[in-house]
Amino acid sequence: STLNSFAALGRPVHRQVREYLQAVFKADTPFPDVLKNNEKLQKEALLPLNTVTNHVPLQIGDYTDFYAGRNHAYNVGVLFRGPDNALQPNYNHLPVGYHGRASSIVVSGTPIVRPTGQILTNPTATPKIPVFSPCKRLDIELEMAAFVSTSNELGHPVPIEEAEDHIFGLVLMNDWSARDIQAWEYVPLGPFNSKNFATTISPWVVLIDALEPFRAQGLEPGNRDSLLPYLREKRPDNAYDIKLEFDIRHNGLSKEDAPIHVSDSNTKNLLFSFPQMLTHHTITGCNLRTGDLLGS
């Protein structure tokens, strides 16, 4: 089973359940007979980690990936268009995003098959003739992603002051990207096969209330005057201070070898918050549903 039914109950219920579970697991729990003194339930509910098989936590109907990391967006823009045209004029005014493929979202640890597609072996050649080849520039994008909890009706946008209550929680996400396939296909409609072969997410959803102590200001305040009013939040600290690290272990390393450290980041590096992404997604009247996933 998945967490969709629980997510759809809404944030007040999520908060009550979280507080109750915290009380049950406290050393001085006020409910000792629920678990602490209940050996039978302990055997049924507390499982050794090495016996657990993880799954995608919710049934995902739709998946949208945003482009809210400005440093990342600039670097990718330089890769494809050069530094003078790296960021488009709209970038600082709205959360740029595209619709992804929900069917190929998999849980952490799932093997990924190297994609094959059309690539240009010599981008400077004239005429430009692609070849059919396995991807030679497989890349990762380290992200956080948000699950939608309660849905909105078609034709009814979610106001920015209500958007956070439509977010169930966050997961880690790896937006696998075939850069050579992407470079050839992305004009004029954006990435397609270069992104649709796999997206990895973590199995554990961290409820939005659990992240409240990590509130921080993002790249720019969430209430900045340069935003149109529908995106302007009441408070400047609309991001989270969550440190992210990326290490890689390739086939040439043994289990005893330390992985190779590649990158450090932080969710403070986002230009737009998840509530801003959700509000912008619905501003046309688009209806989001329980279990929809929003990448950052």
Residues recognised as catalytic: 72
Q: Tell the residue number behind the tokens 């169930």, with chain if given.
A: 168
83 forms bridges with which residues in the sheet? none
C-beta neighbour count of 187 within 10 angstroms: 8
Sign of the dihedral through C-alpha 129, 131, 135, 137: negative
Cis check: omega of the bond before 188, within 30 degrees of 0: yes
- Decide if 87 contacts 68 (C-beta within 8 A): no
